[in-house]
Structure formats: C-alpha cells, structure tokens
Structure 1
Amino acid sequence: MTAILLFFLLHWFLSLFFHSFFLHRYASHQMYTAKPFWEKTFYFLTWFVQGSSFLVPRAYAVMHRMHHAYSDTEQDPHSPHFFKDIWQMMMHTARIFSGFVTGKNVPDARFTKEYLPVWDKLDKFGHNNITRGFFVVGYIAFYYFFAPSWWWFLLLPVHFFIGPIQGAIVNWFGHKMGYRNYSIEDHSKNTTPWGVLLMGELFQNNHHKDQNNANFARKWFEFDLTFIIMRILHSLRIIKLKPLYLSQQQRQ
C-alpha cells in the first residue's frame, strides 16, 4: 500500500508542478526565461511525468492564451458555464487541443505572437498512441506488483489522464466555486485550502486579475507552492524571473 500511495502522490504532484511551472507559467505566459538546456530539460520532464496524458506545450499555450482573451464567454475553450458537466467541458477542450496539435485548427495570430516552446521530435513521440500505451502498461504493471487489493486499480484512470484531469479541476472549480478578491468581468474564483493540492493553480481570480504576476497568491492565507519553487530556481540561476514579476512580488 505504501508503494502505491507514494507512486500516486509523486505522479500527481510532479505532473501538477510541471503543468503549472512549464506549461502554464512558461509556455503560456513567459513569466521567466531559461537557457536552451534548461528549457529542453523542463520540456522532457513535462513529457515524462505526464506520461500517457502528455500535453503538447505549444498547443496548450495557444489554448490557454485564448482562455484569458475570451474568459467565460462562448469562445473560451474551457469555461464551465457552457456545459452541463465537467466531462462535456473536457471533451470540448480536447477537440480544440487536438486540432491545434494536428494543425487542423489554425489559431489567431495574436495567440502565437509571443514565444512558444517547440520540440517537434518530442511532440511527435509523446503525442503518439503507442508511446502513451507504453506508459499505460507501465502504470498497470506497477499496480499489479504493488497493489494490496484490486480496488486500488480504481486509481489507474487518474494516472492515465492526469494532465487533463488536473486542468479540468482548475477550470471547472476555479470558475465556479470559491471567493473573489477582485471584481473582474469573468467568473474566476479562488479556492482554498484545496488550492494547496493544486499548487497555486486554484487561485484563478487572482491570476485573471493580473495574469502577468508569477505569484498567484495575494492574501496571507493563500499559498502558491509553485511560485516558491520558482523563486528557489531563480536564486539558483536555473531560471530567471522577469523583473516585472519580481517588482510586483516586492510591492505586495
């Protein structure tokens, strides 16, 4: 049981960290800069920890930029206010995402104007059913050898779709439930203490108020673990937070 719990928690939080740190705060918002070596390292680790649910960074970034531009309108790729349940929202988002990956959907030029990290070889390898299948087999094998009883296998779907599940939780609950620090046009909300389990991503109202601030926490009781790790990586000179974000943090 210990091995399964440890594996589940490691997979959840490592996937979540690179989702927030690399896909969201770097690919989508360019909140920090990184040398080519480190960008490739983060890119690879994002693929590895997301495994069977790898989200291609350029497609994710374009879709997320659309989300901010059209937040909670019918053009928003994943506003919960136009769907009966979270499943319908996920399927709608998946179709848009897949279209951007394959090139079937061509995004508006304003969403590709800023830098987009691209690693074609890894994208093709990671966004491939055979590759995804190997990860699925690996997850099942781990549970086969270490799960103390069959019902632990009910956790496997989370491993299979961990990236989209985390994104769906943030977009559904972050725009439906919680409190608001700021009165803005969309329905974004903050959710805490559950926000700790999403490493800062559920402070959606704070983020939508100022999408250029790398720290998603505002109040004393709000805790953005991803940003804290980013500050450590900045101090180690692995990444460089842009001066804009540092000055914003110092003013708070």
Structure 2
Amino acid sequence: MTIIIVFFCCHWFFSLFFQTFFLHRYASHKMFKMNVFWERTFYLATFIFQGSSFLNPRAYAIMHRMHHAYSDTEKDPHSPHFIKDVWGLMIQTKNIYLSYLKYKQEPEPQFRDRYPTWPTLDYIGDMWLTRIGFVLFYIAFYIVFAPYWWLYLLLPIHFFMGPLHGAIVNWCGHKYGYTNFDNGDHSKNMLPLDFLMMGELFQNNHHQKPNDVNFAKRWFELDPSYPIIRLMHWMRIIKLRKTT
C-alpha cells in the first residue's frame, strides 16, 4: 500500500507544481524568464507529470488571462458565481479550453502571444492514443502494486489530475476563505499554509498582485512553491522579474 500512496502523492504534487510553476506563473504571467533549453525541459516535465490530463500551455494561458481581466463576471471563463456546481464549472472550462486548443476561436488581442508553444509536443500530448497510454500505465501500476480494491478508487484522480486541480482552485478560491484585499471580485485565500495546492489557493493575494511570484502576503502565510522558484533563480535556471 505504501508504494501506491507514494505514487499518488508524487503524481499529485509534481503535476500540481508544474501546473503552478510552468502553466500559471510562467506561461500565463511571465513572472520569470528562462532560456529555450529550460523552457523545453519544463514543458516536457509538465507533459510527463500531468500525463493523461496534460493541459496545453497556450490554451491555459489565454483562459487564465481572461480570468484575471474578467474575474467573477459573466465573461470569466470559470467563475463559480455564474455556475451552479463544480461539475458545471469543469464542463464550461473544458469547452472554452478546447475552443482555443483547436483554434476554433481566436482570443482578444490582449490575451495573445507571449506564451510558450511546442507544436510537436502539443500535438502528441493531445492525442487520444497518448492520453489512453497514460491511463493504461496508471491502471497497470495499480494492478501490480495495489493490495486492496479500494485503492483503485484513486485512479480517476490520476486520469483527470490537471482539470481537477484547476476546478479546486477556481471553485474554492473564489467561494471559501478570507480576504486580505478588496479586489472587486470574490477571490479568497483558503488556507494560511497552502501545502495541498502549492500556493494556488491564495487567490485573493494573487488577484491583488497578479505578477508577484510569491502568492503569500502576510506573516502567517506560506506559498510552498515560492522557495523552490527562488532556488531556481539563485541557480540561474530562471530569472525572476522585478515587481513593485
């Protein structure tokens, strides 16, 4: 059982880290710079660790920029205040995401460009064959190592890890918790120590200063991703932007 729990936790936190580090803080906000080698390295790592639920950086960045511009209004692609439940939020988010992924809709000019693209990996990552391959890998791993039937209940989380993380952040981060700032929306900070979501549930802080790489703002708050990002800056893997 230990192997399954370790595998699940590794998938949860690595998938979540690359979502917040690469898709959110880099692709969407450009909070730091990196050279082509490191961009491709983290692009590939995001694909590997998100696996069957790999999210295209371009489509993700467009939607997230829309979310900030239209936070908690009818034009917000995933506000919980215009959708009755989490399932509805996930379906609406998926439909808008696919419209940008498949180039069926062009974003407004202010949401275009300045996001990383890798056409070959984007194509492979969105193939049903690829996604099913990851699903079969997760199932095979559980067949080999899961000693109890109830552990198989974790498999759907593996299958939909990326969208699930997004749904938790967009639903809970705009409905539950406390506020430090009046941002004119419903953004909330849910946990003073946001270990489970790697800092993503400091939504109120993030909406106040969307280009600040540290999502924690008060003495009792801790963004677990921030020290890792500072270490990468110190190691010259990335170069942080200066923010005011």
After TM superposition, is the score higher than 0.5?
A: yes
Structure 2 contact 193–221 (Cα < 8 Å) conserved: no
TM superposition score normalised by structure 2: 0.98
Paired AA for residue 150 in structure 1: W
CA–CA distance in 1 between the matches of 2:174 and 2:140? 37
Spell out, residue by residue over 1:167-199, the C-alpha distance to the aligned partner (whole angstroms, 9 max, x if none): 110000000000000012100000114622101
In structure 2, the partner of 1:222 is 221
In structure 2, the partner of 1:82 is 82
CA–CA distance in 1 between the matches of 2:208 and 2:153? 38
- Pick the structure with more helix per residue: 1
CA–CA distance in 1 between the matches of 2:185 and 2:207? 8
Spell out, residue by residue over 1:23-53, the C-alpha distance to the aligned partner (whole angstroms, 9 max, x if none): 0000000000000000000000000000000
Q: Which structure 1 residue ranges, 4+ long, deviate > 6 Å from structure 2?
A: none
Paired AA for residue 19 in structure 1: Q
In structure 1, the partner of 2:185 is 186
Paired AA for residue 91 in structure 1: I
Q: CA deviation at 1:242?
A: 1.1
CA–CA distance in 2 between the matches of 1:4 and 1:142? 8
Alignment of 1:159-238 (within 5 A): 159-193=158-192, 195-238=194-237
Structure 2 contact 173–187 (Cα < 8 Å) conserved: yes
Q: CA deviation at 1:243?
A: 2.3
CA–CA distance in 2 between the matches of 1:143 and 1:232? 34
Structure 2 contact 59–97 (Cα < 8 Å) conserved: yes
Spell out, residue by residue over 1:86-117, the C-alpha distance to the aligned partner (whole angstroms, 9 max, x if none): 0100000000001101001111111014x110
Please state whether the residue corresponding to 2:195 is helix, strand or coil: helix
In structure 2, the partner of 1:111 is 111
CA–CA distance in 2 between the matches of 1:205 and 1:216? 9
CA–CA distance in 2 between the matches of 1:243 and 1:77? 29
Please state whether the residue corresponding to 1:197 is helix, strand or coil: coil
TM superposition score normalised by structure 1: 0.95
Number of aligned residue pairs: give it: 244
Of all paired residues, the percent bearing the same amino acid is: 58
CA–CA distance in 2 between the matches of 1:221 and 1:170? 20
Q: Does 1:2 align with 2:27?
A: no
Q: Does 1:72 align with 2:72?
A: yes
Paired AA for residue 45 in structure 1: A
CA–CA distance in 2 between the matches of 1:169 and 1:221? 22
| Structure 2 residues not aligned, in runs of 5+ | none
